[in-house]
Structure 1
Amino acid sequence: MNAAPLASARPPVLRRLGPPLAALAAVTVPTVYLAVVDPNAPGHYPACPFLTATGWWCPGCGGLRCVHALAHGDLSGALHDNAPAVLLFAVLAVLWVRWVWAAVTGGAAPRIALGARRWVLVGLLLLVFTVVRNLPVGAGLAPPLI
């Protein structure tokens, strides 16, 4: 008599690794493009609409340059271009490693549960970063003008 496969049986490890590896590919392709096509050279990417409209750096300004610098191993340049993005990329890398580990071991994928207070705190920190990088005292936090 053949035993029916158990409904609770875990899928094979290669199948469990599919989603994290797909996510890695989805991040790698644009990162390679940014590594090759320098955002510091004018004309390759559109200008930030917020910067164009207001003359202020938004919290995302310098993000492409940050990724370009990280792809070339320039951590200090990446921090200069967009420090919060470097922090975000580090957090996402840790979460991705935990996701891969969970896929290999058969555990649950990590979850991000930020309550309303923490989202407000993140928003306030980004607002403070935006204001400071646009003041003379925070000029070191602003990417260079092209």
Structure 2
Amino acid sequence: MVTGKIVRSRGARARALLAPLGTAAVVGAATVFVSAVDPNEPGHYPTCPFLMLTGLYCPGCGGLRAVYALAHGDPVTALGLNPFVVVLVPVLVVLWGRWALRSWRGASFNGKSIHTAYIWIFLALMIAFWVARNVPFGEFLAP
């Protein structure tokens, strides 16, 4: 007798993991591509449109170079290029892990697994980082 637990076949569990595993495969392939094609070399990637139009750094500026540095085992350089991306990577890994675990257990990913306050905190931190890296006292945050 099963009480309060969802019983699923192995096939159903495997199908539930398709989305998280597919996402991991796409992100992994993109990381491998960025680690193979150096973003420090001009002409390999397009210029940031926000930087090109305004001359200001967006929160993602330096992100590709930070991922390249992380993929090559250089976290210090990555932090110098885009500390926001470097801090965001482990957060995204944890969120992906929660998603995969919830999928494996049979719980739906309905968007309520992340509290709304965390989303607002993330947006506030991103905007603060965006502003700080474009003012004189935040020059050290620029890539």
Normalised to the residue count of structure 2, the TM-score between the two structures is 0.78
Tell me the CA shift for residue 47 of structure 1: 0.8
Give 1:64's aligned residue: 64
Correspondences of 1:83-98 after superposition (within 5 Å): 83-98=83-98
Give 1:108's aligned residue: 107
Is the CA contact 2:16–2:106 (under 8 Å) kept in the aligned structure 1? no
Q: Secondary structure at the match of 2:82?
A: helix
Correspondences of 1:33-72 after superposition (within 5 Å): 33-72=33-72
Is the CA contact 1:102–1:109 (under 8 Å) kept in the aligned structure 2? yes
Give 1:25's aligned residue: 25
* Superposition CA RMSD, Å: 2.2
Q: Say if 1:11 and 1:23 are closer, same or farther in 2 by CA, change over 3 A.
A: farther
- Counterpart code for 1:55: G
Q: Percent identity at matched positions? A: 48
Is the CA contact 2:65–2:81 (under 8 Å) kept in the aligned structure 1? yes
Give unpaired runs (5+ residues) of structure 1: 1-7
- Counterpart code for 1:14: A
Correspondence 1:79 to 2:79:
yes
Structure of greater Rg: 1
Q: Secondary structure at the match of 1:43?
A: coil
Give 2:133's aligned residue: 133
Tell me the CA shift for residue 73 of structure 1: 1.6
String of CA shifts for 1:60-85, please: whole Å, max 9, x gaps: 11111111111112112222211122
Give unpaired runs (5+ residues) of structure 2: 1-5
Give 1:11's aligned residue: 9
Aligned partners of 2:120 and 2:96: how far apart in 1? 24
String of CA shifts for 1:94-144, please: whole Å, max 9, x gaps: 12222333445x2536622324xx54443332222122212333222111x
Is the CA contact 2:59–2:129 (under 8 Å) kept in the aligned structure 1? yes
Q: How many residues are aligned here?
A: 133
